[in-house]
Structure 1
Amino acid sequence: MKDGQLDEIDRKILRTLRTDGRISNQDLAVSVHLSPTACWNRVRALEEGGFIEGYAALLSQRALGLPDTVLIEVTLDRHDDDMLIRFGEELAKLPEVMEANLLTGDYDYLIKVAVAGTEGYERFLRQRLYKIPGIRHSRSTFVLRTLKRTHSVEP
């Protein structure tokens, strides 16, 4: 990587790590046709350059008893800094929330939540989400099937 620019080997490393973050450096080096030392140096440079933010295990919602995904559109009462900060902080504390995005458009937030059916969703609404002050309106949609799921863009 020169001057923050990725070459094809860097992109190959990133694509491989994107699909298998646990690959050994030896196997990664073989797959990108580098020596283990050169490969390790490139991975470190990619980490230090901010191209790799971290490594994580992907957990099964179904195995954890939360097989359903709900997308919730939320509109707040106010849009001042204090309200946005407080709402964001409270939302981040909820373990069912997998993703939360502050948006432009007709509603303020799009929240992705893992639940166990409609009963689990009702419990989430009543016991968690609606306890956060400042919500004016929400609208929900259950996900029937996920057609594509990635956690980063392909380099």
Structure 2
Amino acid sequence: MKLDRIDRKILDILQRDGRIANADLAEQVGLSASACLRRMRALEEAGVISKYVALLDQRKIGKRMDVFVEISLVGQSNEVLEAFEKAAARSNEIMECFLMAGDADYMLRVAAADPVDFERIHREELARLPGVARMKSLFAIRPIVRKTSFHLGPE
């Protein structure tokens, strides 16, 4: 789907406030409410908008630590990769999982309350992931930049 200036403006506003009323959104982008709603539906149907969520403050819910975990697997067969990816997707503790190029096969981001909580996550979740040959945990001191919206270019 080719995004025009109005689509980008709609997406920019929705990334900042997913609960904005359609009438307010339409006014901000210079469309009628019905035209704005049609555009939003088209963006949803095309998969540009995949879902609407509430973003929680990680610290306020007691998850003060970000831990990045490099995972190296025992092999690179489809079976090993698929088993690991399915197990990682089922985990409630893994916030993000990326297939990597380089030394590690995967990079995970885990949110933990404290080192004791991370130890629990390590023992109960990470150590049980299939096909893991090696894990290396990196503890973040504090986030500097954490964005949830994409820059969509000039309007």
- Whether the TM-score (by the shorter chain) exceeds 0.5 is yes
Which ranges in structure 2 are unaligned for 5 or more consecutive residues? Answer: none
Where in structure 2 are the equivalents of 1:65-104 lying within 5 Å? 65-104=62-101
User: Match for 1:131: what amino acid?
Assistant: R
| CA shift for structure 1 position 152 | 4.4
1:125 equivalent among 116, 122, 126: 122
Equivalence for 1:64: 61
Are residues 1:32 and 2:37 paired?
no
Equivalence for 1:106: 103
Structure 1 stretches of 4+ with a deviation exceeding 4 A read none
Equivalence for 1:137: 134
Task: Give me the CA root mean square deviation.
Answer: 1.3
| CA shift for structure 1 position 144 | 1.6
TM, length-normalised to structure 1: 0.92
How far apart, in 2, do the equivalents of 1:35 and 1:132 lie?
51
Q: Percent identity?
A: 43
Are residues 1:9 and 2:6 paired?
yes
Which ranges in structure 1 are unaligned for 5 or more consecutive residues? Answer: none
Q: Which one has more relative contact order, counting CA pairs under 8 Å at least 6 apart?
A: 2
How far apart, in 1, do the equivalents of 2:148 and 2:124 lie?
29
| CA shift for structure 1 position 151 | 3.1
Q: Secondary structure at the match of 1:90?
A: helix
TM, length-normalised to structure 2: 0.92
